[in-house]
């Protein structure tokens, strides 16, 4: 994560703070997620059956695409130089817009919406994130993601 002062981070409110590196969502990643979550729906884990759907093959779970935000954030989200700990505070809005087909690459584009003191030493951040699918016009998802920084 890029390191910055709180003033430098505040100066970025309302701006695009960056785009993450690409992440490949291949069948082995999809299968590992299916195993971890016990969501074995055929559209995710059975290439032969999924080939007969409108998607033409397996697709990632929406929650798999969403879970990759943490990895994407590591590339671009700014971290205060006096950070003690950061925690996921939740999501205000998530929309799954387009399926991520097995083998595709995704990346996150982050905009810092706000930075507010929730309590002394606690900063609530809000980012709008769009997860792009390489070579496609529609994104996989959009989300408003909240984080709590302890400084």
Query: Domains in the chain, please, with CATH?
Result: 3-23+60-150 (3.10.129.10)
Q: Can you give the pLDDT at residue 106? A: 98
Confidence at residue 105, expressed as pLDDT on a 0 to 100 scale? 98
Contacts for 145-148: CB closer than 8 Å, 24+ residues apart: 145/69, 145/88, 145/91, 146/88, 146/89, 146/90, 146/91, 146/92, 147/77, 147/86, 147/87, 147/88, 147/89, 148/86, 148/87, 148/88, 148/89, 148/118, 148/122, 148/123, 148/124
pLDDT, position 2: 84
* pLDDT higher than 90, residue 149: yes
pLDDT on residue 7: 92
Q: What pLDDT is recorded for position 129? A: 98
pLDDT digits over 24-46, tens only? Answer: 999 999 999 999 999 999 999 99
Residue 67, pLDDT score: 98
Tell me the pLDDT tens digit for each residue of 41-69: 999 999 999 999 999 999 999 999 999 99
**1: confidence class by pLDDT, cuts 50, 70, 90:** confident
Q: What is the pLDDT of residues 83-142, one digit of tens each?
A: 999 999 999 999 999 999 999 999 999 999 999 999 999 999 999 999 999 999 999 999
């Amino acid at each position: 994560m890029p390191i910055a002062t709180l003033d430098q981070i505040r100066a970025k409110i309302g701006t695009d703070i960056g785009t993450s590196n690409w992440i490949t969502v291949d069948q082995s990643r999809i299968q590992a997620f299916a195993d971890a979550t016990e969501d074995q729906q055929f559209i995710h884990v059975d290439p032969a059956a999924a080939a007969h759907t409108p998607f033409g093959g397996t697709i990632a779970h929406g929650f798999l695409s969403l879970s990759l935000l943490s990895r994407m954030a590591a590339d671009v989200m700014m971290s205060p130089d006096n950070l003690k700990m950061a925690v996921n505070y939740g999501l205000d809005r998530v929309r799954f817009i387009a399926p991520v087909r097995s083998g595709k690459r995704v990346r996150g584009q982050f905009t810092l919406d706000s930075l507010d003191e929730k309590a002394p030493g606690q900063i609530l951040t809000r980012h709008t994130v769009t997860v792009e699918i390489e070579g496609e016009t529609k994104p996989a998802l959009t989300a408003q993601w909240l984080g709590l920084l302890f400084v």
